[in-house]
Amino acid sequence: SRRARGAAWRAGRAAMWTEVCTAAAFITRLLRAAGGIGEERLRCFRECLQEALCERYKHHWFPLAPSKGSGYRCIRINHKMDPLIVEAAGMIGLSHERLFQLLPSELTLWVDPFEVSYRIGENGSICVLYKSPQPRSSRSSPSKNYNMMTASSSVPVPCSTMHIYPGF
């Protein structure tokens, strides 16, 4: 039924909300650090990106197998700008060209159940923005061999009060 599908969607969205908020807040902080964008536009960007990420991930979020679908959920900036970032930026009048000026030229952001991490540059260190324990003890982590640099608490907090990466 329609009601059951709506309830399932809300439950799925709730399951990924902390991770999605963490990713959107991080990209927003990068834009804020670059300067020249007002707080209201940044808030709108963050909210648009959160909604776009939830929509994109809704059939690709697997808490019992967190690495499944990781490539699909990866946000990437290299010679191309990730389309979800372009979409959210378009909602606040930021052009594709302006995004390339404001954001790192090489950025990979992994948004997985229980963990959000990023790397700036192809050879940069992978840093963890958010990590939460899994409900099951047998975690098979994606093959990211790195020294973790934790930049946040593992306790989920509402997006409006998040301070994900203190440098931004």
| Residue-wise pLDDT tens digits, 40-58 | 999 999 999 999 999 999 9
Task: Report the C-alpha gap between 112 and 166 in whole angstroms.
Answer: 21
- This prediction's pTM: 0.76
Task: Report the C-alpha gap between 129 and 149 in whole angstroms.
Answer: 8
Q: Average pLDDT, stretch 81-95?
A: 97
Q: Tell me the pairing of strands 115-120 and 126-131.
A: antiparallel
User: Above pLDDT 70, what percent of the chain?
Assistant: 73
Do 31 and 86 touch, CB atoms closer than 8 A?
Answer: no
Task: Report the C-alpha gap between 161 and 168 in whole angstroms.
Answer: 14
Q: Where are the domains of the chain?
A: 2-161
CATH code of the region 2-161? 3.90.640.90
Question: Is pLDDT larger for residue 64 or for residue 13?
Answer: 64
Can you say how many angstroms the Cα of residue 101 is from the centroid of all Cα atoms in its chain?
A: 20
Of 60-64, 126-130, 146-150, the least confident: 146-150
Residue 134 has what pLDDT?
80
Q: Average pLDDT, stretch 153-159?
A: 37
